[in-house]
Structure 1
């Protein structure tokens, strides 16, 4: 930013209008701002009816450190709550206490209440020097610390009051013309004091903090022509141009808005992540850690910093990522494991930490299933698979094994049993073999030791059917929901077994076949499938087996109902 540039914060408003500030001066680490225009008309200080000094009793107090305007500028209190007595004779700027009842402001909210929180937090404390009058306050000066203040004679480039330099001249003010200030349209429309000269197109008087050294009730101001002037403190027609200072590191938009002002970019930190969770930490094993996430007020991208510690050691970083889930490897020493996470936005603003409770590290090895995951290829006959399960802690743990096999979208549990470490187990698919559709299947063997340790083996295979004795598909007008099937083989070998399946979506790319072997010639079958992708239809297929071999059927009669 250059001196003379205009900045604004879109949610900081006075009288429902965004306050526009002009860069008035810069130092190595500070930017000094003053409102671009006069934003309101107010008195410097109200009359003090009980003050023994006759001037202050009639015209108000010109000592800035106890003035009404100074107190109002530095308050964030709500309507009617900003004023409190600063000395025994102090009085609020009520209607009765201002010149001709113009522009009282005791019922207003404090000036800082109009600032968005980020802006208010960014305003720096500033120590300012203020001259004192020589009549009642002893001359000389006093240094006070404020957030918001009025400028002095010295800072606007006018003569030092009583030879006292109140700060240093701002670079913005180089001549009378640079000191001219115009009121905003809102300042004019809200003013009880009116004048043909008071309009948004003409310069107006504005208060300085400097007292007129020769009396107790007049304060300095800038005249409409940019020269030095003074008014009684209780004059409610004086313009107010608040000044403040912020750090030079605050960001603004790259280009000005349509009104020529650069927009201040307040970067607020992300919220504290809502949660952090994980499973049982097992020594030397991977552990999934998840956070519920965070939000950034400005919508900036967020990274999550995950940290962990063992026992009372310092936390150490394990990941910085935009993902809400990470994998850690649990240390192999220590008693307790603890994690925490914080959010960091793209401008390096950090949230607080969300910290999990410390939990014991489990020292337990996983059980082991013999062999490796493999594909056993095509099988016509029922498949069996032999394997062993071993566990280092088998003497104190129970090994629970579950065997499952897929059948299309269905998963069939073969059995769940307690295994003996080192013993041979056999997964036998003969009981479900005929139910398995032709094609690829997986046999999954899972073992748990009851202490968090698990292992899994996945065996892939395919079932093939080389001969179907009879099959046929029919088209129908609608979805078939029930059927009755009669089959009369004219020649059927002794000790043979009939196997029969039907489908109510035979023309789909992957028909659903349902086993009705037990219902043939006996019961009506109700289809479980109710989805058809192409044409409606009905189909059957069947074959005979004797032992483990399929046998041919020379002639059959099939009836559908």
Structure 2
């Protein structure tokens, strides 16, 4: 078994005449009866010759004969026929990008070309070489021989032009230096990535609920490709600490898109069609973020044809926790159910934002119950009027009066404070 396509054939020279030596030789190599290489009569005392490249093919059985001449130019009989077989060539299979000249696959301007490798003789990949050509067959990039067992190659920047069709071919070499030859003409077209999204909400530095909604305006893809979307949330502005990522390519739960006219629909698994350009995409975070923490977020679009990510929009931050709620530490026990109550709350509640901050005040006259009855007295607090309790039942041993205050920041960024609270009941 020959693990090379340029093996050396050797022989020994003997002659019955003492002191005689070889003056010439001829080697003939055949596949079956077909001559694939004939050295012709070569004037030389050498007893070996290498078969030139391009004569043999992998996984073939060949035979050869040798004839020599002595110093008197007397020819020897032909040697007995000897046989050898070349090993199988490695077989690479291109996996991405794939396509024909009529329907090329999509790729970025720096695509990663990938392939599978197989060798019937279990020889590992030693090296590879990638060539990229334009549709006219001109080589626009040649990787050269890369000594590596990797089954991928990333095309350097500034090699390819956007919106252009190319094809790529590949040659691999195994550990015995057996080559596959350049195979494949897989076509791809380079594509412009989608433009950056324009963030809509949450407003930068806003306080949010623990499952906030993130929204951004969809940009116009030059080729009108479908678009997928990615959002990243991290605990630092450099996006190195506890980065969480959600993508519509892996799960569409929580994602919605809307047209420019304002109609929301669930995010299609295939991506947002170009008809939604100028509309928006929104995602409701599906797990609770930690209250009291500041998070940073950014979104980007993914080209549906090439899987290339566009640029991220400007980084925005949020402060998780937009609800402030407190109640009386110790309810006031009463011998009978309280009939009415009046509360005064001294507070500063911001009124900026599209949904200003809100104040809600509730009271209970059975505050020791496992599940107290809370009655909304916000309007009475705002007008300074008494509230008449409607509850007349309890499960605890005693009646007790308490209050609780809930402030939701919503979209407000202004100051929110509670300076004091007064209560009177009978």
TM-score when normalising by structure 2: 0.41
Larger radius of gyration: 1
Q: Which has the higher contact order (CA 8 A, sep 6+)?
A: 2
More strand by share: 2
